[in-house]
Every structure is written in C-alpha cells, then in structure tokens.
Amino acid sequence: METIFYNVTMKSLRFGRQFELTEDLANEMIRDEIELDNITYSTIITCAKRCFKFDKAVQWFERMYKTGLMPDEVTYSAVLDVYAKLGKVEEVLSLYERGRATGWKPDPITFSVLGKMFGEAGDYDGIRYVLQEMRSLGVQPNLVVYNTLLEAMGKAGKPGLARNLFEEMVESGLKPNEKTLTALVKIYGKARWARDALELWERMRLNGWPTDFILYNTLLNMCADLGLVEEAERLFYDMKQSDNCRPDSWSYTAMLNIYGSDGNVEKAMELFEESSTLGVQLNVMGCTCLIQCLGKAGRIDDLVRVFSLAVERGVEPDDRLCGCLLSVVSLCKDNEDVEKVLSCLQKANPKLVAFVKILEGGSTDFDMIKEEFRGVISETAVEARRPFCNCLIDICRNRNLHEKAHELLYLGTLYGLYPSLHHKTADEWSLDVRSLSVGAAHTALEEWMKTLSRIVKRDEALPELFFAQTVRRESWLLCSNSGGSGVLVAIPEPIGCCGIEYL
C-alpha cells in the first residue's frame, strides 16, 4: 500500500513537472526500504523526460535495470526517446533489440521516436529499417508516425520516397492533416518539384483536406522560391475567399517577395496599399522585400514613404533590412537619392551611416577605416556581415574610391567574411567570387591579377592552371602555364569588362 501511495503522489507531481520533488520521494522510498516497482521507475523516468532532464532519466533507467525489473511499453518508449534526444543512436538500437529479445512489441509511438531520430541524422537506411520493422511486426502506422517519417524523409532528401509513403498512408484509409500536407509541400519545394506540389494542392481542394495558415504560407513560399507567380496569385485568391485562413502578415510577405523577385513594382505597391487598408501589419521581412523591389526600380520616394510608414507602425529594422538599404545606396546614381536612402538608414543604423561618410571622406587613413569597420561588423549579425562588406565595396567603386574598395576587401578577408575566396595548390590557383557582389568581385579579380603579375615579374614557379569562378557558369578566367614559358590568359566578355590586361 505504501508503494501505491508513493506512485500516486509521484504521478501527481509528474503532471505538475516537479522532478526534484519526485526524485526526493524516490530517494525517501529507498532510504525507508519501501519497494520501488515498475510503475515507480516508469513514473520517475517519464517525469524526468517531461522536465528535459534526460541524464536523470537515463540514470534512473540504468538503476531500474540493475534491480532486475523489466521495463514496460511506456518506459521503453520514454527511454528510447531520451536516448534519441541525446543523440545516442547506438544505445537506442541496443535497447530496442534488447527489448525485442524479451518479447516486447513496440507500439507506433516507439517507431515515431526511431523515425524522428534517423530523420534528424538524415539517415535513410535507418528510416528504411523503421519501415521494415513495422511491416514485419504488423504494426499499422498511425498519423503521428506517418508525419514523423515524412519529416524524416524530407531531412534525408528523399522526395520520391516521401511521395510513395504519403500514397501508402492515403491508401490505408488515413486522412492527412495540416502537418502531413505541410511536411510534404516543404519536401516538394526543397526538391523544386513544383508540379507535384501544385497537384497536391488540387487534391487538397477536391478532397476537402484540412488547411491552415502554415500550409498556405508554405505553398506561397514554395511559389516564391520557384518563381511561380500565377500559381501564387491563385493561392492568395483562395486564401482571401477562405473563412478560416485569410491572408496574414506572412502571406503578404510571401507575395511581396514574389512580386519583388519578378520586378513587378506596381503589383507590389498595390499589395502594400491593400495590406494597409485591411490593417494587416507588415513585418520586417515584407518591408525588406518591398524596399528591395523599389530600390532596384529606382523609385526612391516610394521607398522612403514605405520605410517611414513601416517604422511608424512598429516595424523594427534588422540587419537584413539595413543591408537592403545599403544595397540601394550602392545602386543610386543621383546624390540626392543617396541622401534620401541614407536618411532612412540613419534611423535604423546610425553607426553604419557614419562609416559610409568616413569612406567618402578623402583624407581618412587605413587604421581609422580598420577600427571603424571592425566596430560596425562586430555589432552586425553573422549572416549579414558579408552582404554589408559587399555593399560597402560597391559604394566605394561607384564613387571611384577604388583604393578604399581594395582596403575593405582586405579587411573582409582578414575578418573571415570570405573564407573560400582563394584556393592554392602546387598545380592550381583559383579565385571563387560567387559569394561576392559585382563590385567586390571586380575588386577581388583586380587584386588577384596584380598578385599574379608580381609573381610573374619575379620569375617564380607557376602552377599548370589558374581559374576564377563567377556566378555565371560561362564566366571563367582560364590561364595555363605552358612549359614555364609564360601565361596564356583567356578572358570571356563578362569578366573582361573588368579591364584586366593580358600578361
């Protein structure tokens, strides 16, 4: 009776996620020599799992095993999940096989745990193992298992197998839910299987399968990634006609991204005005997409108005938006437009604007530029540092500040913003400018050729091959060293416009 009393109390504490108190009671039972049965250990272990104390769960499970108690289905599933979350794949498989040897029959929850573990690791063979085990044991997957396995297939990069698994699920009589369909759309989008994704959408409409904001927005984002403008417009129209899934901020952001990528400024602005009229709050990503579109079209006054309205309505500019404004500055030819964009950037990142002014100053020395550049970059999100540097180099080149452009490229390389820019072996020297903007790529190529010219003048040994890789596949600078007699340089037009001379 005492054991039962403790078990009931522990279950109440587990419901309240009070692991410390649960463990205190367990230690009290051990001290008072009250028997801990299977239910006691199972409750302790599952309580530790719910409280994300995975090490404690493993500790109590190992203690349970030493007492000779055999875990039940709940305990096995809980510990398998704990091992999986800790990334202990070998322990998971060992425990699974050990449990199977004792006659334990895994339930769908167990296979869901295994599928998720292999999916996180992108282990396709592991996913196949889960499917084979279920079939051999005659375990019918439920919707949770199918959803988990579909997500695993996506992480393993197996869209064809994900499609087959989905068809198997539908044929078994299970009706997909929003999570199922969202997982499949993401897989198709990542694989660029636009036709399959749109066919799935038609099936959803015909069968009346459930939809939600996440599913709609996932489809819209897929259309944005693949440049499917008309299909996105139909989806967006369907959302407007829906009773439960009217377009939200992320829906408008996806459409602004689509129109912006397509260069359709008029439709992008119409969408912005529509969202304002309907009271849909534009988020910072949507604001960035629209500003980028307006900047490329040279509609600076509209850009300033959109930015001002967005800030008034609570949008807080992030580094990506600041990078977008900085990119527009690099595109502006008129000084008046430059000042308008910089006035917007001043509200978002005054330190960045101050650095642009320093670059434009004629007498600034390198040490000052280095110090200020380091200050700007250190306060910038990691993913935005290289775009910032690219835009700053472009600004310098557009203002004929070529020396400062070269200094910025050097600093960017020094601070690790261009880790794969140069590659040098005994047989090959290469330059990879695919992560650079046009101005930064020109600067890097000029720097590379100057270095090469100096090496040739010093009569140093040269490798057999030189090449510079740009964004366009046909834009390659090929150089070959023939018997040490010299260097032959072939420069296609897209690169030749840099003004590089033959050696």
**What pLDDT, in 10s, does the model give residues 480-490?**
444 444 443 44
What residue has token string 């994300």?
52
β-sheet bridge partners, residue 423:
430
Helix (H, G, I), strand (E, B) or coil at 487: strand
Cα–Cα distance measured from residue 356 to residue 408, given in angstroms and rounded to the nearest whole number: 12
Tens-digit pLDDT profile for residues 399-445: 889 999 999 999 999 999 999 888 888 788 888 888 888 899 999 98
pLDDT at position 485, please?
41
Find out whether 46 and 81 touch, Cβ atoms under 8 Å. Answer: no
Q: Around Cβ 22, how many Cβ atoms within 10 Å? A: 27
CA-closest candidate to residue 146, choices 220, 161, 196: 161
Taking the C-alpha atoms of residue 492 and residue 240, their distance in angstroms, rounded to an integer, is: 50
Q: Which residues, 6 or more positions from 49, have their beta carbon under 8 angstroms from its beta carbon?
A: 57, 78, 81, 82
Other Cβ atoms within 10 Å of 256 Cβ, number: 27
Contact, 56 vs 23, CB < 8 A? yes
Q: What is the pLDDT of residue 473?
A: 45
User: Is the distance from CB of 227 to CB of 261 less than 8 angstroms?
Assistant: yes
User: Positive or negative, the Cα torsion across 168, 173, 179, 182?
Assistant: positive
What the block records as the tokens of 101 is: 């040897």
Angle at the Cα of 26 from the Cα atoms of 101 and 14, rounded to 5 degrees: 80
The span from the CA of 251 to the CA of 220, in Å, is 7
C-alpha to C-alpha distances, 479 to 41, 283, 488, nearest whole angstrom: 71, 48, 5
Task: Kindly give the pairing relationship between strand 428-432 and strand 465-469.
Answer: parallel
Look up residue 457 and give its amino acid.
K
- The HSE-up count of residue 23 (CA atoms within 13 Å, CB side) is 16
pLDDT of residue 459: 83
* Tokens describing residue 294: 């307006």
Q: Under a CB-based contact definition with an 8 Å cutoff, are residues 338 and 326 in contact?
A: no
Largest CA distance in the chain: 96
CA distances from 253 to 267, 286, 299, 322, 405 (A): 13, 4, 19, 17, 34
Give the per-residue pLDDT at 472. Answer: 52
Check: pTM over 0.75? Answer yes or no. no
Distance CA(450)–CA(292), nearest Å, equals 35
Residue pair 494/474 in contact by the 8 Å Cβ criterion: yes
Eight-state DSSP code of residue 480:
E
Residue type, 340: K
What does the block give as tokens for 32? Answer: 């008072």
Report whether 146 contacts 171 (CB < 8 A).
no
Tokens representing 398? 């557009």
Q: From CA 186, how far away is CA 368, in angstroms rounded?
A: 47
CA separation (Å) from 32 to 29, 36, 56? 5, 11, 21
Tell me, what's the pLDDT at 414? 92
pLDDT, tens digit only, all 503 positions of the chain: 888 998 899 999 989 999 999 999 999 998 988 888 888 888 888 898 889 888 888 888 888 878 877 777 777 778 888 888 787 888 888 888 877 887 778 888 888 888 888 877 777 788 888 888 888 888 888 888 888 888 888 888 888 888 988 998 899 888 999 889 988 988 888 888 888 888 888 888 888 888 888 888 888 888 888 888 888 898 899 888 887 788 888 899 999 999 988 889 999 999 999 988 888 888 899 999 999 999 999 999 999 999 999 999 889 999 999 999 999 999 998 889 999 999 999 999 999 999 999 988 766 788 899 999 999 999 999 999 999 999 999 999 998 899 999 999 999 999 999 998 888 887 888 888 888 888 999 999 898 888 888 888 888 878 888 777 776 544 444 444 444 444 434 444 444 333 333 33
